[in-house]
Amino acid sequence: MSTLQAPPEAPPPSRAARPSKAAPSWVASLVGRHPVGIVLAAPYAVFLALVFAWPLCLAVWISFHDYFFAAPGVEVERPFVGLDNYRTVLSDPDVRESLVNVGVFLVINVPLTVVLALVLATALNGAIRGRTFLRVAYYVPYVAASVALVAVWLFLFSSDGMVNQILGPLAPDPSWLVNSTLAMPVIALFVTWKQLGFFILLYLAALQNVPKELYESASTDGASRFRSFLHVTVPGVRPATLLVVILATITGANLFTEPYLLTNGGGPNGASTSPVLLMYQRGIEQGNPDTAAAIGVILVILVLVISLVNRRLLERD
């Protein structure tokens, strides 16, 4: 009697065993196997270098010097000052407050964006009446100008605005946008609402890649719609969630227009001043681009750290 035995598993082909390709010429090594690729990529690479890389390098350089804007041809000294600008910035209570402000913003905005965008995208992915209209409706605020939308929110949240008229005696005093506790949350809600359409779109795209069989299996196993959402949808769109979190963090850290317009330059009493708004005040209004650059560099580092932490947390599972 013989027994069937599985054939021994073939070892993976070693690097040496792979079929060798023709040695690339020096041209191919410079421009790759498809030279047209570099032609297509070059304009954007140049754009990226000029508009992002160069200013970033310059900002880092400025942040280590006693720098101010001068007329061409005017000889001015811009000595290296080491970490002086960073010391100035980190000991500035306004900067610390602005970082706390943007922290409050992110704590409200990012989770709210993820939850609302995912739930609404899931709903809009189903067979519901008026689906196209609703998808467009959520997307309109994203493409509309902030200035116009801010006017609507001012109408809603000013002291004699519609919200307070509905709330009556329950309206906060001082009112929403001049209340140092409420101003930043109102801005966070505004930005969440404004950007929701874009993030819904990302999730809608991601939902198309979740295998339908998983939902069918879950249904066969008796899972409720909520459990199905929790155990199939949420893990299925994890890469999109990572993207949403990182994008929301980056756009939140760059907050400028909304506090500038909604609370008139970061009021009340600086309670909604964002680091970017402070950079504008320090660098452009007050003529201190060196400290403004230091704020910018610190902000970039913080955003990178937050993004890395988010990535680790979201990819861990």
Partner 1 sequence: MKTKTMAATLGALALTVAACGGDGEGSSGNDDRGPIKVWLSNNPEEIAWGEAMVKAWNDEHPDEEIEAQEIPAGQSSEEVIGAAITAGNAPCLVFNTSPAAVPQFQKQGGLVALDAFDGGADYVEERSGEVAEQYQSPDGQYYQIPWKANPVMIFYNKDLMKKAGVDPEDPPLATYDEFLATSRKIVDSGTAQAAIWPAPTSEFFQSWFDFYPLYAAETGGTQLVEDDQATFESEEGQAVADFWATMYEDGLAQQEVYNGDSFADGKAAMSIVGPWAIAVYGESVDWGAVPVPTSQGTPAEETYTFSDAKNIALYSACENQGTAYDVLEFATSEEQDGALLEMTGQMPMREDLAGTYPEYFAEHPEYEAFADQASRTVEVPNVPNSIEIWQAFRDAYSSSVIFAEEPVDDALGGAAGEVTDLAGQG
Interface ranges with partner 1 (CB under 8 A): 29-30, 45, 49-50, 54, 68-74, 76, 94, 154, 158-159, 174-175, 177-178, 180, 264-270, 273, 281, 284-288
Task: In angstroms, give the least distance from the CB of 154 to partner 1.
Answer: 6
Task: Specify whether the CB–CB gap between 196 and 141 falls below 8 A.
Answer: yes
CA–CA gap between residue 167 and residue 87 (Å, rounded): 46
Cβ nearer to partner 1, comparing 49 with 143: 49
User: 164 vs 51, 158, 190, 270, CA distance in Å?
Assistant: 44, 8, 17, 23
Task: In angstroms, give the least distance from the CB of 165 to partner 1.
Answer: 15
CA–CA gap between residue 248 and residue 60 (Å, rounded): 24
Phi, psi dihedral angles at 234 (to 5 degrees): -60, -50
Task: In angstroms, give the least distance from the CB of 253 to partner 1.
Answer: 21
Cβ nearer to partner 1, comparing 193 with 280: 280
Cβ nearer to partner 1, comparing 159 with 307: 159
Task: In angstroms, give the least distance from the CB of 265 to partner 1.
Answer: 5
Cβ nearer to partner 1, comparing 236 with 289: 289
Cβ nearer to partner 1, comparing 43 with 72: 72
CA 216 to chain centre: 34
Tell me, what amino acid is at 50? L
Task: In angstroms, give the least distance from the CB of 42 to partner 1.
Answer: 10
Q: Which of 186, 177, 191 is nearest to 264 (CA)?
A: 177
User: 191 vs 213, 252, 280, CA distance in Å?
Assistant: 36, 8, 20
